[in-house]
Structure 1
Amino acid sequence: MSHVEVYGVRHHGPGSARALRGALEDFKPDAVLIEGPPEADPIVELAGDPGMVPPVALLAYSPAPAPGDGDRKAAFWPFAEFSPEWQAIRYALDADVPVRFCDLPAAHQLVPAEEGAAQEPAQDPAEGAAEGIRLDPLGWLAKAAGYDDAERWWDDVVEHRGGGPSPFPAIAEAMAELRAQLAALPEGAAPAGLPPGHLRREEQREAHMRRTLRRALKEGHERVAVVCGAWHVPALRAKVPAAHDDRTLRGLPKARIAMTWVPWTHGRLAGRSGYGAGVRSPGWYHHLFAARDRPIERWLTAAARVLREEDLHVSSAHVIEAVRLAEALAALRGRPLAGLDEVTDATRAVLCEGAGLPVELIRERMVVGERLGAVPERTPMVPLQRDLQAEQRRLRLKPSALDKEQDLDLRKPTDLERSRLLHRLRLLDVDWGVPSETGRSKGTFRETWTLAWRPEFDVELIEASAWGTTVRGATTARAEAMARHATALADLTSVAERCLLADLGDALPAVMRALADRAAVDTDVAHLMSAMPALVRALRYGDVRGTSTGPLRTVVDGLVVRICVGLPPAITGLDDDAAREFLGHVDAVHGALALLAEEGHIERWRRTLEGLVARPEALHGLIEGRLTRLLLDAGRLHDVQDRMARAVSVGTAPDRAAAWVEGFLSGGALILMHDEALLRLVDDWISGLPDDSFTDVLPLLRRTFGAYADAERRSIGDRLRRVGEAPAGSSHPDGEALDEIRAARAADTALRILGWPRPDDHGTDGEEGPT
């Protein structure tokens, strides 16, 4: 005679997992059915492979859509080591017992017409602990037991149980009572906030579970164990005619899907990640499942180790006192075992001595954690995934869920290949590595990346497989498509730069043709100027990487000429907003040409700027001041004091004078720190402003001087206090007369160090060196 046991569990509950493993060992089923997608039946045996290390997830996705067809539908079914379903799978495989999934097929859940397909399949709130759907069954039970927190109640009655009778009969009874009360509600009184079609989908899921159970019994299995969310237990025990379930499932729309295993992380199991069946503390739950004895002592010892690694003083006495406090708190609060709240309070009070930051560190590293699972080599994958894995092994770049900084020296072949791989993945929207903004501050040959692997990257790789079967091939096809569809010149220059960084020589001809065509017809000087920096960076860093940049240089040469010709008419007659925008373009082009270091282009640019400042009446004050400063720094202007005197003279409107000063000083404070004449001019102009004019220009001045470093502002203030004193060099700041003989010796030493010729006067031949 057949015997069916239905075990209602909470997804990702260590107490449920431990109790379920014991119940299965006592029951000894000859078939195990588990809530999950039936399409995974052919690959469930991979869970027994030594290379399968949880957390992992089943991934269902629609295979091979054409590029540009929209987002791919996908869903994950995650498993941790402390997930009851995972323990059921491992028991069945270890006992050589057939194991199948019995939930509604993913093919029905990923139909494109379905409302808002999510990354994780919809989970019942009873399974996810108080989601508010279906009247929050756990919340009702917790309230009846005197708890105001459903998850804490479940922890006390199930997760923190140290032994005793099986909890599954009591869980089934409680869920049956709740469903009976729900069924007694008037028709149409279902709680508000349910997703569209949720109740209908729940009915379909339970109908398919019953159908799978009947099929297992019909095949001759006599002892069948069913593992499902606690909410479904009454529905699977109910005597529902097969014909009713057939009618419920008849005519369901169906999509073509594929199924595989992918690595997962503890962070993605956390409820805060948006996962409907997530838990607050996956790291804590993993610890409860793995530490069969003295879990509190082991946890606090591990917390002390984390704090010591950060050079925080934590002694054994701290740990002992923290354990005592956690146990005392549990007793005062009437809990069977110190839970995470008690352990956290003890950690804060004793180990961290009341400080909040160390507690946050422990929460990130231990309470949630970022354990990354692994899948075996023989797991079904698209070719693009396999190619990436081969590249990761070849370049010794191991994926990790924790942020890891990778410093690359592009002069080393391996580091150069790593950089190209990371840039290629970014072109495929797989941001495994994010380049640091300061990465190139260490030099042209240096890059700094922050690497962190996320489970959703597997879905993005599957989507990107429509472009090709290898990382290089897929990236080349994607870059060519981006170039074809780009409408803005700046977008095309960005694609060209990324192609060079990724060493996509096969894509460059198509990208460069599109870039040249777009640049030839774009007459907007602002567009040309915004495109210049990316192209110059591509030239400079492409050369460093050994990438051919000949076609790109031709485009840059043409852009420089067109910018210099088109800038004068474009930059005249601007209002305040347009002038500020063009100021950014001018600075960007000036910096790009300095990086390019082509004397011909730099000379053409400087002559263009000289022509503009020769007719300042047509320029906005901000632009005129900035161009004057650029030419002064280049050594092309020798009458800057006169120009500033005219710009801030009494006859000039205060707002224009302030704009001129802002533009001139935006290049940095060093000029005011070392040119006292200019400092006097600015000081005299500000001092002579009428009260109402001073109020008007004050925001501009604050913006200008506020951009300087504190030390620079202090130095300017010190010089202003000394304005009017004896000329520099005539005496010491403290009033001492200058000792020319000692000064000559110091100058002679400086010249020796620099290797410059030394004057013969005040010679020191035969004398002791300067002191």
Structure 2
Amino acid sequence: MREGTFEALRAQLRDAAATFADGPDALEGILLGMVDDVDRALREPLEIFPVCHHSPASAIAMARRLREKRPRVVYLELCEDMAPLLPELRNCRLPVAVQAFASEVEGFPADWAPLSVVAPITEASAEYQAIAYALDTPGVELVLVDRSSDHVFQWLPRQEPGGGPVDPDAPPVEEEAALHGDAVGVEIGDLRPRFAELEEHLLRHGRVRHWSEWWHQYVELPLGDADHDTYRQVMILIGSLFRRLAPGDPSRVRVDEDRERHMWTRMRQHLAASGVDPEDCLYVCGAFHAASRVAEFGVHGADTFEISPPSGSRWQHGLIPSSHAAIEAQFGLAAGSVSIAATEWAKNLRRTGVRPFRLAGQAGAKKGGTSKKALAPARAASTAAPPDRLSGFLRRPPVLDALDEAELLGWSVEIVRAARRNGYLASTADAIAVFETSILLAGMRDRAKPTPYDFQDAAVTCIEKDTVPGRRDVRRLVEIMMGGDRVGQVGYDALPPLARDVHDRLAPLNLKLQQRGVQRALLDIASRPELERCSDVLWMLRYLMPHGAARPIMGERRLGERSIQESWDLALGTHQRALIELGYEGVSIEQVLEQRLRRTAYDPHATTAAVLGAVEDAILYLRSRRLADELGTRALEVLATERSVDGAPEVLRRVRRLLAYYRTNEPVLPAWVESFVKTGYAHYCTLLPTAFTDEDASVHQVAAMLGFLFSMESLALSLGCDRHQLELAVAQSHPEEPSKVALLWAAQTHLGRLSRADLRKRCDDLLGNPLVLPAYPSYLSGFLHALEPVPGLTDFVVEAVSNAFARLPDPVLLPWLTTLISTLRAGGSELAPLLIREAGRIFPGRLAALDAWVPPWRAARPEPAAARQARRASGGGGSALLAAHPETCDAVARLLGCDGAWETPADGPQGVALLSRHPDTAVALEGLLAR
């Protein structure tokens, strides 16, 4: 290229800098530096093609240039490790995203895991045109030259990879906008001012609301019909402007320059290895990188950049579904901008007649859209420098497109029809108002032809009024009308092995599992036993995938139980990304589930309850005795190292369920269960005195410890544990909190160290002491929690609560009711049924009997001696009854070990004299026979 190509433009810019700036140096350096950047990029023998991310103008220019130049090698700014996935785009419906995923990280902060990088691809993008051309044209090589996915995270600052903490006040993200999850997006052709004041200045003087609208009005439309030279020069100029006015963030500048050094280093390596002429190559990159000033720039640049080795992280690659909303959310674009770009792409194709490139066999592609002919020899590159297109482009006034009344009228009619379907009271008058308002807004913004953004504002102004009657507002209706949020889909052949295996195993359900939306699956396992395998898959998917992917409507899975009928709501097509990411972790869902359970159990911060939960899940979903025994042994190890009682309630519940399962389904208990009971018995005996006095240990946790000790006592003693250890632990416990004191009393009653009469007397003393009276509700709360370890005290708790309601004054009783309700709610599944059942047994069943009812604890209790005297005075009590049935008496005597002969009067029945000598036995036997 000749030196004087842009000399005229340089002179004009010098004069402008001297006229409008205080001093020519600063502004002149920026303006002339921009021209130098354009000149440098155009001089490069390897043609640089600058693009913007998802720009229809870039896609049109790319398709046109590829058919003209027919390059033999296409260098593309995309992560180099994603190249093997690009041929799988044939099996997908765009938009989709190429993803690199690493669940096990090495060399990065642990809280970054899992690592995920996505590069979304739409049909209206220059990168897709280059990919389709290279993959479907024989003799063309596609080379990805950007940093690898591993280097994306290597070059990030040591903070959150997503860019910082999440704003808790941010609005919720819609389902379609969350398709990429927390992945880091690879910005192919990112072109947006990084200088906030510059963007604000452009938006204000361009009379637009956001950057997407400015780009559409002032770049997309002018470049839509531009020739190749004009397009390249303008795009490089814009990239240079944004680059020179970017703030000097050292980390951001370093990453940008390292990417450029990496790409040029890779291109020079490929050129040297392949021997291809740079004139036969095309380098597709963002316009920001086309204006690079690094020393490694160009085929003759310096070879001073050393690419660091990858970390030890294990990366998996695949395709995930994407959507217009997901792209907009990830790259900060305005809502609806990608949909409008897709509409503009279709209009440009019809207007210009350019034939786009589409991958053969791709869903939605027209047959014959891509040439299958062998690559023709590239025409000789012209040695003459391209003319200076920038001077004319910058001088030319904006082209005012003529108003397309038919198009605008069609939009106005369609938006009114859509609004009426969504509950708005729209009419023909509103369509006319939208039509006229669109023209008015465009005129106020110096535009002869209303853009989709002008039309959107007019529709909101004329139709929405003050309320939104339905789920969608008018702005969303306009986005749908302009093309909607297209959601891509990954085809069956492009899915990882795990996802294909899931689809194959669920085939008996006869559902279209790749279809988006919720589908109902009915499983009659009793009549079709083969559906039990489908049920197993669905329960594992429910465990592994996000909520809503597989949701049971009828049926449940518990230890030792199996459903005979189930009903499911499935949305695997909607959650296809999550299913694909499972495929990065293993080749089957059983393998992934086993890895997840092991990861949970062997986590350094795992608790005993969490490990026992993993044991239960291994039995429920995998039916694996081997894995359950392994995780159970791990639970034993964790229990021995725990020094807190925080997880005692959950440990108690899970151990009880596991014991009930093994006792009913196994001939003997597993060895780890026996060891766990022995270790837990000794462990909780050791912690019990401390837990009673520890302020951080709640009464619920201490009650759970006692529940473990009392409910497992018989098994623990049979395995060799010593009961004196428990008695000693209770004797050493000296709590001060009233609720824990009551819990200790209940434990002493269970161990026989405190009688029911003494316990009742202590409660009566509390009610009679005005100083202790305000704390009595706390004692009752302790008794309520004591039902967990000592359910035999249920009748006493009913008595204590009844006495409290009868004797406590209202200022004390009413505030305590909230504590009582919260206690019952916390343990309601176990405590409330006991109390209700016992109260129903004690209290009268009819209202009329309530007046004459006397509580059992207030009824007169005759002394045992007086009762014996009364029975003797009445004729021996049970003597007559037993004497009337001598055979029964003989059988009971043999059971009791009485070998003596019966001594009876001559005129009396046998056994009377013996019973008269043992009246207590007679009374006891009478009670047994009466029952």
TM-score by length of 2: 0.54
Q: Of 308, 324, 330, which residue of structure 2 is paired with 1:253? A: 308
Q: Is residue 500 from structure 1 mapped to residue 610 from structure 2 by the alignment?
A: no
Q: Is residue 231 from structure 1 mapped to residue 231 from structure 2 by the alignment?
A: no
Q: CA deviation at 1:25?
A: 7.6
Q: Of 590, 606, 614, which residue of structure 2 is paired with 1:472? A: 590
Q: Of 359, 367, 378, which residue of structure 1 is paired with 2:472? A: 359
Q: Is residue 83 from structure 1 mapped to residue 139 from structure 2 by the alignment?
A: no
CA contact (8 A) 2:499 2:579 kept: no
Distance in 2 between residues matched to 1:644 and 1:18, nearest whole Å: 85
The residue that corresponds to 2:225 in the other structure is 165
Residues 215 and 53 of structure 1, relative CA distance in 2, 3 Å threshold: farther
Q: Is residue 682 from structure 1 mapped to residue 805 from structure 2 by the alignment?
A: yes
Q: Is residue 350 from structure 1 mapped to residue 350 from structure 2 by the alignment?
A: no
Provide the aligned C-alpha RMSD in A.
6.4
Amino acid at match of 1:453: H
Residues 203 and 561 of structure 1, relative CA distance in 2, 3 Å threshold: closer
What are the residue-to-residue correspondences of 1:341-740 with 2, within 5 Å? 343=456, 346=459, 350=463, 354-355=467-468, 358-359=471-472, 369=485, 371-375=487-491, 377=493, 381=496, 387-388=501-502, 390-391=504-505, 398=513, 417-418=533-534, 420-421=536-537, 424=540, 431=546, 445=563, 453=575, 455=577, 458=580, 461-462=583-584, 464-465=585-586, 469-476=587-594, 479-480=597-598, 483=601, 488-503=607-622, 504-516=624-636, 528-537=648-657, 551=670, 554-555=673-674, 558=677, 562=681, 566=685, 569-570=688-689, 573-574=692-693, 577-582=696-701, 585=704, 620-622=737-739, 647-662=766-781, 681-682=804-805, 685-687=808-810, 698=815, 701-702=817-818, 704=820, 728-729=847-848
CA contact (8 A) 1:622 1:660 kept: yes
Residues 46 and 477 of structure 1, relative CA distance in 2, 3 Å threshold: closer
Distance in 2 between residues matched to 1:586 and 1:433, nearest whole Å: 37
The residue that corresponds to 2:861 in the other structure is none
Structure 2: segments with no counterpart, 5+ residues: 2-43, 163-182, 351-406, 719-725, 748-754, 788-793, 826-845, 852-931
Residues 278 and 109 of structure 1, relative CA distance in 2, 3 Å threshold: farther
Q: CA deviation at 1:515?
A: 3.4
Distance in 1 between residues matched to 2:663 and 2:550, nearest whole Å: 19
Q: CA deviation at 1:493?
A: 0.6
Which stretch of the first structure deviates more once superposed, 161-170 or 59-68?
59-68
Distance in 2 between residues matched to 1:319 and 1:291, nearest whole Å: 29
Distance in 2 between residues matched to 1:575 and 1:270, nearest whole Å: 53
Q: CA deviation at 1:510?
A: 1.6
Q: Of 434, 456, 459, which residue of structure 2 is paired with 1:325? A: 434
Deviations 1:307-350 (A, max 9, x none): 96xxx6357x5598368537724641536445458537735863
Q: Is residue 264 from structure 1 mapped to residue 325 from structure 2 by the alignment?
A: no
The residue that corresponds to 1:757 in the other structure is none
Distance in 2 between residues matched to 1:344 and 1:96, nearest whole Å: 48
Amino acid at match of 2:472: V
Q: Secondary structure at the match of 1:127?
A: coil
Structure 1: segments with no counterpart, 5+ residues: 602-608, 631-635, 710-726, 733-771
Residues 626 and 96 of structure 1, relative CA distance in 2, 3 Å threshold: farther
Deviations 1:288-309 (A, max 9, x none): 368759699679969977996x
CA contact (8 A) 2:441 2:458 kept: no
Deviations 1:578-627 (A, max 9, x none): 3344267479979x989xxx9x99xxxxxxx9x99999996843357789
Identity fraction in percent:
14
Distance in 2 between residues matched to 1:217 and 1:686, nearest whole Å: 96
The residue that corresponds to 1:55 in the other structure is 95
Distance in 1 between residues matched to 2:124 and 2:275, nearest whole Å: 32
Q: Of 50, 64, 70, which residue of structure 2 is paired with 1:8? A: 50
* Count of aligned residue pairs for this structure pair: 665
Q: CA deviation at 1:56?
A: 1.9
CA contact (8 A) 1:36 1:103 kept: yes
Q: CA deviation at 1:54?
A: 1.8
Q: CA deviation at 1:496?
A: 0.4
Residues 480 and 212 of structure 1, relative CA distance in 2, 3 Å threshold: closer
The residue that corresponds to 1:760 in the other structure is none
Distance in 1 between residues matched to 2:508 and 2:337, nearest whole Å: 33
CA contact (8 A) 2:97 2:322 kept: no
Q: Secondary structure at the match of 1:12?
A: coil
Amino acid at match of 1:502: Y
Residues 472 and 554 of structure 1, relative CA distance in 2, 3 Å threshold: same
Residues 344 and 572 of structure 1, relative CA distance in 2, 3 Å threshold: same
Amino acid at match of 2:513: K
Deviations 1:518-569 (A, max 9, x none): 557879776554312234455678999x999953994599379939994995
Q: Secondary structure at the match of 2:97?
A: strand
Q: Of 142, 152, 156, which residue of structure 1 is paired with 2:213? A: 152
Deviations 1:446-492 (A, max 9, x none): 79788662647645643x34xxx433245445645654566642232
Distance in 2 between residues matched to 1:206 and 1:558, nearest whole Å: 62
Distance in 2 between residues matched to 1:107 and 1:613, nearest whole Å: 60
Amino acid at match of 1:505: R
Residues 627 and 461 of structure 1, relative CA distance in 2, 3 Å threshold: farther
CA contact (8 A) 1:352 1:359 kept: no
Q: Secondary structure at the match of 2:285?
A: strand
The structure having more radius of gyration, on CA atoms, is: 2
The residue that corresponds to 1:753 in the other structure is none
Q: CA deviation at 1:198?
A: 2.1
CA contact (8 A) 1:435 1:449 kept: yes
Residues 193 and 407 of structure 1, relative CA distance in 2, 3 Å threshold: farther
Distance in 1 between residues matched to 2:687 and 2:579, nearest whole Å: 48
The residue that corresponds to 2:882 in the other structure is none
Deviations 1:52-88 (A, max 9, x none): 2122222346799899996576532221233332244
The residue that corresponds to 2:76 in the other structure is 34
The residue that corresponds to 1:203 in the other structure is 260
Q: CA deviation at 1:499?
A: 0.8
What are the residue-to-residue correspondences of 1:298-337 with 2, within 5 Å? 313=423, 317=426, 321=430, 324-325=433-434, 328-329=437-438, 331-333=440-442, 334=445, 336-337=449-450
Deviations 1:336-382 (A, max 9, x none): 44545853773586368613872379859969858242045167x5x
Deviations 1:628-668 (A, max 9, x none): 999xxxxx99999998765544435255223235556899x
Residues 589 and 63 of structure 1, relative CA distance in 2, 3 Å threshold: closer
Residues 508 and 556 of structure 1, relative CA distance in 2, 3 Å threshold: same
Distance in 2 between residues matched to 1:209 and 1:141, nearest whole Å: 36
Distance in 2 between residues matched to 1:584 and 1:493, nearest whole Å: 19
Q: Secondary structure at the match of 1:77?
A: strand
Deviations 1:409-456 (A, max 9, x none): 8878677545644665688x7657678799989997579788662647
Distance in 1 between residues matched to 2:473 and 2:557, nearest whole Å: 32
CA contact (8 A) 1:57 1:263 kept: yes
Q: Secondary structure at the match of 2:306?
A: coil
CA contact (8 A) 2:322 2:487 kept: yes
CA contact (8 A) 1:102 1:212 kept: no
Residues 679 and 426 of structure 1, relative CA distance in 2, 3 Å threshold: same
TM-score by length of 1: 0.63
CA contact (8 A) 1:85 1:227 kept: yes
CA contact (8 A) 2:260 2:289 kept: no
Residues 615 and 28 of structure 1, relative CA distance in 2, 3 Å threshold: closer
Q: Of 127, 148, 153, which residue of structure 1 is paired with 2:190? A: 127
